[in-house]
Structure 1
Amino acid sequence: MVTRSKAGIFKPKLYHVNSNPIPTTIKEALSILEWKATAMVEYTALMDNHTWELVELPPGKKAIGCKRLFRIKHNSNGTINRYKARLVAKGFNQVPGQDIIDTFSPVVRFFTVNILLSVTVTQQWHIHQIDINNAFLKGDLKEDVYMHLLGHYT
């Protein structure tokens, strides 16, 4: 097997000073113009996809928490590509068998990627990389999931 280091291919490490601090709360994000626009795009996507419905927590039900993650995506030369904001559920608080029955994680196996790349090379196809801004799993849940929306966007 020929690796990059055996072939003499070295990717230089680019060091850059992050002059754009990454917010840790939605309040911080809404005070910075770039982050506010990013947070609002994420909020709009969640609303357009009818991700949630605001209801009172029924007696005997447990709500999971949520967190907002903010990241800066960089280009290979170190410049800023875009700002990312995500609302994620803290699912680690759930008890398997009690709160959840099944889990789903969209992960591709390395073997599948290897075959796809092999077919692409043999057929002399072109490959383009894309970065999906928002991805939503389309489907209906059989059970109700309750989540605290502390510090929501509005």
Structure 2
Amino acid sequence: MISWPHPHAHITSTAIPAEPTSVNEASKFPEWRKAMQLEFDALLSNKTWTLVLPATSQNLVGCRWIFKTKYISDGTIESRKAHLVAKGYSQLEGLDYSETFSPVVKPTSIRLVFSVAISSG
């Protein structure tokens, strides 16, 4: 007995993937190419990095693209985001870096500092 319609009858290869797993896959679609271009332009305008020639003794840190689809509460697509991230796991402490710094402050940290300041007068 044949069930109709076949469950895979409406799947096409031209559909935009929700979140591509590679640059090659993403570059086939104008929406993802635009998201990658916006991210790259933002990195350049913020002067996030400068291109320099590497020394032979340096361990080079690679990068990769991460793709994310943002949805509105009704399930429709709001936007497509692409982020270029460093492969920090390829670094070795003491060889490639000696300390780390994160400029992000969590609200709980701010509350803690305020409570210590208030309690100590």
What TM-score range do you get, normalising by the shorter chain?
Answer: 0.5 to 0.7
Preserved CA contact (<8 Å) 2:59 2:91: no
Matched, 1:102 2:99: yes
Match for residue 56 of structure 1?
53
**Matched positions, count:** 95
Match for residue 25 of structure 1?
22
Larger radius of gyration: 2
RMSD across aligned positions (CA): 2.1
- Tell me, in whole angstroms, the C-alpha distance in 1 between the residues paired with 2:105 and 2:66: 20
Matched, 1:36 2:27: no
- Tell me, in whole angstroms, the C-alpha distance in 2 between the residues paired with 1:112 and 1:50: 28
Match for residue 3 of structure 1?
none
TM-superposed deviation, 1:45: 0.9
SS in 2 for 1:55: coil
Match for residue 88 of structure 1?
85
TM-superposed deviation, 1:50: 2.3
TM-superposed deviation, 1:107: 5.0
Alignment of 1:110-129 (within 5 A): 110=108, 112=110
TM-superposed deviation, 1:54: 2.5
Identity of aligned residues (%): 39
Residue 74 and residue 24 in structure 1: after superposition, are their counterparts in 2 closer, same or farther (change >3 A)?
same
Q: Unmatched 5+ residue regions in structure 2?
A: 1-14, 112-121
TM-superposed deviation, 1:101: 2.0
User: Which 4+ runs in 1 deviate beyond 3 A?
Assistant: 109-113
Deviation digits for residues 31-89 of structure 1, max 9, x if unmatched? 20111111111111112122233333212111012111000011122111111100000
Preserved CA contact (<8 Å) 2:65 2:83: yes
- Tell me, in whole angstroms, the C-alpha distance in 2 between the residues paired with 1:43 and 1:110: 32
Larger relative contact order (CA 8 Å, sep ≥ 6): 1
Q: Unmatched 5+ residue regions in structure 1?
A: 1-18, 114-154
TM-score by length of 1: 0.54
